[in-house]
Amino acid sequence: MRTTVGIVGAGPAGLLLARLLHLAGVDCVVLEARDRAYAEARQRAGMLEQSTVDVLRACGAGARLDREGLFHDGIEIRFDGRSHRVDLAAHTGGRQATIYAQTEIVKDLVALQLKDGPPLLFEAQALAVERADTARPAVRYFHEGAEHLLECDYVAGCDGSYGVTRRALPAAGTRVYEHVYPYSWLGVLADVPPTHDELVYAAHERGFALYSMRTPAVSRLYLQVPAGTDPADWPDERIWDELAARYATADGPPLRRGPIMSRSLTPMRTRVTEPMRHGRVLLAGDAAHIVPPTGAKGLNGAVADAVTLAEALALWHRTGGERLLDVYSDTCLHRVRQAVRFSRDLTELLHTGPDRDGSAHRSRTARLRRLLASPGAVAALAHEYTGLWSAWCPAAPAGDGGG
User: Could you give the residue numbers annotated as active site?
Assistant: 72, 201, 293, 297, 385
Taking the C-alpha atoms of residue 109 and residue 32, their distance in angstroms, rounded to an integer, is 14
Taking the C-alpha atoms of residue 259 and residue 80, their distance in angstroms, rounded to an integer, is 28
CA atoms within 13 A on the CB side of 231: 16
| Residue among 168, 160, 396, 124 at smallest CA distance from 275 | 168
DSSP letter for 253, please.
Answer: P
Largest pairwise CA distance in the chain: 65
Q: How many CB atoms lie within 10 A of CB 374?
A: 12
The crossing angle, in degrees rounded to 10, of helices 12-23 and 102-116 is 40
CA atoms within 13 A on the CB side of 135: 0
Q: How many CB atoms lie within 10 A of CB 272?
A: 19
* Parallel, antiparallel or unpaired: strands 82-87 and 74-79: antiparallel
* Parallel, antiparallel or unpaired: strands 175-190 and 218-226: antiparallel
Between CA 279 and CA 29, with CA 299 as vertex, the angle to 5 degrees is: 45
